[in-house]
Amino acid sequence: MSELKTSLLPEMTDVWQQTLSWQPDTVGQLQFQCLYDLILAGNQRLNLTRITTPEEFWEKHLWDSLRGVAPLWQSVTSPQRAIDIGTGAGFPGLPIAIARPDWHITLLDSTRKKIAFIETLLPQLKLENAVTLVGRAEEIKRISQHRRSYDLALLRAVAPASICAEYALPLLKKEGLAILYRGQWTDEETDALQPVVKKLGGVIESIEEFTTPISNSQRTCLYLRKVLTTPAGFPRAAGIPPQTQL
């Protein structure tokens, strides 16, 4: 068996503070390291991520996951119930569960083997505020436990923005927030997304553009607020081509 070498994650205390006015405590830092070690080990079998150096993992998986929700840390005081739709190997949901032990995170993915892998991580990370769910976003809203149940829905690298909105809005409580993690973003894309979000009972509340702190990569987070009940029938059934416009 090949020997598995892992490296120490950088602490980046100053960067955490400068960018998010936050830093992990000792337990959080140990959990981040443990997550990194376990993902690297799992990668040998499961091909979970291309991001493997400590710096890249810190920036693209830890920092990026938290950057999307950190703006809420000032304004939101009650514990949030969040769903990470298309979580893959657990991003952005796992770093958020580590950073916010008071929040409750559901990690959803349609790929059983990815969810089975995350299941093995949770006890090792000693995370008691995260649960997993195998399924498609189009299907779980039929289960009353999930419909209109979440304060937050998070989607990173899952589908075109309009499809992400369609997955997220039905699962949110009224006044809930969907956060779409995107790369580059244009005004034309905003114009195209606006009517789709409206049809789903939401509004584009804000759009934040920023660069990542190590590689200066362009990122955009879209914040969609649910203001009305989403009409029945959304999201449309699986199999309807994702490109189909609403």
Q: Considering the rule CB under 6 A, would residue 21 count as an interface residue with ligand SAH?
A: no
How far is the C-alpha of 153 from the C-alpha of 155, rounded, in Å? 7
Among 24, 86, 176, 201, the residue binding ligand SAH under the rule CB under 6 A is 86
Task: Report d(CA 128, CA 104) in Å as an integer.
Answer: 9
d(CA 226, CA 31): 33
Q: How far is the CB of 31 from ligand SAH (least distance, A)?
A: 18
- CA distances (Å), 239 to each of 4, 155, 210, 235, in order? 40, 19, 34, 11
What is the SS3 assignment for 100? coil
Residue 124 CA to residue 96 CA, distance in Å, equals 16
Rounded CA separation 113/41 (Å): 15
* Phi then psi dihedrals of residue 142, to 5 deg: -75, -15
* Residue 110 near residue 135, CB atoms below 8 Å: yes
Tokens of 189: 């894309």
Task: Candidates 66-74, 80-88, 203-211, 219-227: pick the segment binding ligand SAH (CB under 6 A).
Answer: 80-88
Contact between 236 and ligand SAH by CB under 6 A: the answer reads no
Out of 80, 106, 110, 220, name the contact with ligand SAH by CB under 6 A: 110
Q: What is the DSSP string of 156-172?
A: ESSS-HHHHHHHHGGGE
Which stretches of 46-163 are assigned E, i.e. beta strand?
81-85, 104-109, 130-134, 150-156
Closer residue to ligand SAH (CB): 59 or 138: 138
59 makes contact with ligand SAH (CB under 6 A): no
CB of 116 to ligand SAH, least distance (A): 12
Lay out the site mask for ligand SAH across 115-144 (x = CB under 6 A, - = otherwise): ---------------------xxx------
Q: Which stretch binds ligand SAH (CB under 6 A): 19-27, 143-151, 153-161, 185-193?
A: 153-161
Q: Report the residue from 17, 111, 184, 206 that binds ligand SAH according to the rule CB under 6 A.
A: 111
Q: Which stretch binds ligand SAH (CB under 6 A): 32-40, 73-81, 82-90, 190-198?
A: 82-90
Q: Does 157 bind ligand SAH (CB under 6 A)?
A: yes
Distance CA 34, CA 39 (A): 9
Closest CB 98 distance from ligand SAH, rounded Å? 15
Site for ligand SAH contains 158 (CB under 6 A): yes
Q: Which residues bind ligand SAH (CB under 6 A)?
A: 85-88, 91, 108-111, 114, 136-138, 156-159
